[in-house]
Amino acid sequence: MEELTAAEVVAQIWCEPKNSQKIMDVDLANSFIRILKIEQARTVGWETIANQNCRNQEFYKGLLLDIALLIGEEAYITEDGNISSSVLITKLPDLVAKLINSQSNDIR
């Protein structure tokens, strides 16, 4: 569906049966157009931010999954010892800390 401009939306209001007998007030119409444009800008701004946020989440989730692949099977083992079909992302900080601590103990 094609998006209408703010002016087209306001003009359509005067074409509705309940309003068609009314004379269009140009100043009022221009006020409505201005308000609609402001709301449209807010919506577009919000959608842009939401889309960027989604892309950022996917990017960082991908990094975490790459780290999990480097860690290996431990990133898939649940607390009760079962193996999950997906990475347990919440375990990654502890697993990385454990890996770093074991490496610093090997250096000493």
54 & 10 share domain: yes
66 lies in a domain?
no
Distance CA 65, CA 83 (A): 16
Residues 51-105 pLDDT 10s:
999 999 999 999 999 999 999 999 999 999 999 999 999 999 999 999 999 887 7
Distance CA 85, CA 66 (A): 15
53 residue type, one letter: N
- The pLDDT of residue 5 is 85
Range of the domain at 14: 1-61
Its pTM stands at 0.56
76 & 54 share domain: no
Q: Where residue 108 falls among pLDDT bands split at 50, 70, 90? A: low
56 & 7 share domain: yes
6 & 57 share domain: yes
108 lies in a domain?
yes
Distance CA 98, CA 108 (A): 16
